Structure 1
Amino acid sequence: MAVPTGDRAVVLGGSMAGLLAARVLADTYRDVVIVERDDMSPGAEARRGVPQGRHVHGLLARGQQILDELFPGFTEDAVAAGIPTGDLGELRWYFNGRRLRPSTTGLVCVSATRPLLESRVRARVAEIQNVTFTDLHDIVGPVTDDARTTVTGVRVRSRRPGAEERVLEADLVVDATGRASRTPVWLEELGYARPEEERIQIDLSYTTRRFRLPDPSVLHGDLSINPVSSPSHPRGAFLSRIEDGLIVVSLTGVLGDSAPAELEGFLAWTKTLPVSDIHDVLQDAEPVGDGTVFRYPASVRRRYEQLDRFPGRFLVLGDAACSFNPVYGQGMTVSALEALVLRTHLRRGPVPDPAAFLGDIARVVDVPWDFSAGADLGFPEVEGRRTAKVRMGGAYMARLQAAAVHDGEVTGTFMKVAGLVEPPQALMSPRMMFRVMRGSRQSRPALVAS
C-alpha cells in the first residue's frame, strides 16, 4: 500500500461505487470516512438505498477482474464460500428468441445476489485500518470556503431522534450517492450551473422471485438462462443460480409492461417469454419468499464534464454521474472502472483536478452508454435522437446477434465487448465483420429492422 499523503477524504454513499472509491482513496489519505444513510452493519440484506438490490444483478467480466485487482483473491474466496461462477460465454443466452452458440471465453461470471456481493466488498473495505463507516447518517450538504470555490467538508446528521447536524471536514469529498444524488441542487445553491442531462425513457420493470429446485439437474449444468428483451420480443428474463442452492428469476418488462409479483401471475407470465426454458425449469420449483417489483423509468447521464465551473476538492462518480438501464448489468463495472480512474489521478496528487477527473470518467462512460442507449433506442416507442451512428450500430448488432446463433467465435467476441473487457472495435475487425455477414445470412429471418 502507498504511503498516505492527504489527511481526510469523505465518501458520500456506501454502495459499490462508494466502497470502491474508498478502497483507492485509502492508499492516499490517512483517514477515509464513508457516510451512508442505511445500516451498514454486517449482513447481506437488501438495503433501502439500493431498491434494485433484490433483483438479478450482473457483474460484468471487467468488473470481476477489477475486484480481484483491488481485493486480491476476491473471486477465489467467493468460490470457496459457495457462490456459483461460470464462463460468461457459456451461459444460456437468447437474443431475438434464438440461442447464441456457447463460447468458452475465460471470462468469469460471479453469480451472487447484490446484497451478498456488496457485503463481501464491504467486509474487505472494512479491513482497511484507515477506513471508517459513518452509517445511519443523512447527508445535509457540502461545506465550502467563503468564495464558494472549494469544498472543505460536508454537513451530516445522525438519524437518531434529536441528533444535531455536524460538519466533517475534508480535503476531498466524493459524491457516490447514486441516481438520487443532490449534487445538481447543491451546485445551483452555490451559484454554479446544473449539468445538462441525457435521458433515455425506457420504463423498465423487474419482477423477481426466488425458488428452490427439487432437482437441480433440470438446469443441465447451466449457471444462467437469459432470454434478453429486444424490440422483436419485448418481454425478457434472467434466471441465475445463486448462493444457498437457490435460483433467482427476474422478469423484465419495458415501456410500462410489468409481470405480476404473485406466484400464479408470475408463472403465467413466463409462458409469454420467447422461449419456454424458464417456464419449464419452474414447473416443480418451490417458491422461497414473496415476489418484489422494481421500476426504473429512465437512464440518466449527467454531463458534469461540460460545465465551465466546478468547485474544487469535490468529485462525482458512479450512478451519481450516470445511471444505466440495469438490464445491461453495467453499473457496478463502470463504478469499478471509475475507481481505477480515481486511483490514477490520486497518484498525481492527493486532490484531483475535478475538470480533468470528470472528463476522464466521461470517456469511461461513453462506451457502455452508447451500448445501452443504442439498444434502448432500438425500441421504436422510446423517445430519443437516432443519429446515423445509432441506426447503423443497431442494424449491425442485429446482424451480429443473428450470426452468433451459429458462430461461437462471434458470441465470444460479443461477450468480451459487452463485458467491457475488449473495445467495440473488436466487433468491427475485418475478420469479425466477415463472420457477421456470413453468419447473419444463415439467420435472415431473425434480423429485425432497426
Structure 2
Amino acid sequence: MEFIAALDALVSKINAFAWGPPMLILLVGTGFWLTIALRGLQFTKLGHALWLALVKRKEEGDEPGDITHFQALMTALSATVGTGNIAGVATAIAVGGPGALFWMWITGLVGMATKYAEAVLAVKYRVQDENGEMSGGPMYYISKGLNLPWLGAVFAIFASVAAFGIGNMVQSNSVADAVEATFSVPPLATGIVLMICTAAVVLGGIKSIGRVTSILVPIMIVLYVIGAMYIILVNISGVPAALAFIVKQAFNPTAATGGFAGATIMMAIRFGVARGVFSNESGLGSAPIAAAAAQTKHPVTQALVSMTQTFIDTIIVCTMTGLVLILTGLWSSGDTGAELTTKAFAAGMPGGAYVVTLGIILFAYSTMLGWCYYGEKSIEYLFGVKSILPYRIVFICFIGLGAVAKLSFVWNLSDTLNGLMAIPNLIGLLLLTPVVVSETKKFFADK
C-alpha cells in the first residue's frame, strides 16, 4: 500500500507538469504559430472542409488508404467526443466560471490549425504495413520527417499505454457508474457487455471500426445536440445574455454565487484551456493515427477533413453543454462533472437525465473503439504487426476490469501519459512546419 501511495504521489507530480501551465501554453502556442504560418486556413477553408467531410465524404477513384474521409473523421471523433464533452465542460465551468467556455473556444479555434498540420504530416509520411494497411501518425512523421526514430518510439510507448486508461478503463468505469445509477445494473454485467460489443468491432480492424463509427458517431452526436438544442430553444430569449456573460466572465473575475466559490481570470483561462485541449486532443497526436488510414491522394485533402473534428467537438458539442449549464442556472449549484450536466439536462427537459446517460454510454463506447486503434498502431510501430492481435485481446480484457475497479491511480497515470504524448508530437509539428506549409501551398497552387 505504501508503494502504491508513493507511486501515486510521483505520478501526480508528473501530471502537474504534463498538464501544467507551461505545457498548456506550448499546446495553445503551437496552435497560434500554425495559424499564423498557414494564414488562418482553418477560417478561410472551413466551409470547404465541412463540405468535404460531411457532403462529399470520400474521394472518387481507387486512392491509397483503408477507409473513406468520412470514416477516418468519425473514427477520430469517436475517440475525442467523449466524457470530456459532458463532464469536462461541466468541470471547467464549475471551477473556472462561465468564462472558461470562452477559453475552450480559443483552444478549439487555434487547435483546428494544429489538427490540420497533424493530418498533413500523418498522410505524407504514412507507410503500408505487412497486412497491406496504412500506418501513420506522430511516430512515423517524427521518425521519417525528423530522422528521430527513438523519439517516435517514445511517443508510441506513451500512446500504447495511455490507451488503457483514457481510452479504456476510465471510459468503461464511467459507463458502469452511469448505468448503475440510472438503471441499477451491476458494474460487472455492464463490463461484460462492453467487452463483447468492443470485441465484435475492434477484432475486425480499422475497416470494421470505420464502418461502425461512421454510423454510431453521427447518431450519438445528433441525439445529444438535439437534447441540448431543445433546452436552448426553450430558453432562446436568454441566449444573447448568456453569450455576453461568457465573454464578460472570460476577462473579469467571477463572483461567488450559490454553491460557486468564485473564480479568478487565471482560473477561467487555466480550466478552459485544459479542458478544451483534453476534449479535442489537438496537439496530443492521437487523431493523426486515424487520418493516416484515409483513402486520399493528397495530404491536404484529408487534413481539411480532419480539422473539422476540432470544430465539431469543441465549437459545437462543448458549446451546447456549456449553454445548457448556464441557461438552466445550475452552473453555480456547487455540483461538478457529469453529475452537474445530468442535473442541468434533467431541469431543462423531460427525460433529460436519460439523454446524458445515453450520451455517456455512446460517447464512452465509441472512445474505446477509437483508442484501441490508436494503441494498436502504436504497438505495431514498436513490435510489428504480430503484436496487434495480442494487444487487442488485452485491451478488451481491461475494459471489464475498468468497469469494476477503483480508478484514481489509473486516471492519474493515463492522464499523465496522455499529456506526455504531446511533447514528442509538438516537437515534430514545430520542426516540420515548413513541410506543412509547403504541402499546403503546392495543393492550392494546383487548384
**TM-score, reference length from structure 1:** 0.26
Normalized per residue, which structure has more strand?
Answer: 1
Q: Which protein is bigger by CA-based radius of gyration?
A: 1
Normalized per residue, which structure has more helix?
Answer: 2
- Higher RCO, 1 vs 2 (CA within 8 Å, ≥6 residues apart): 2
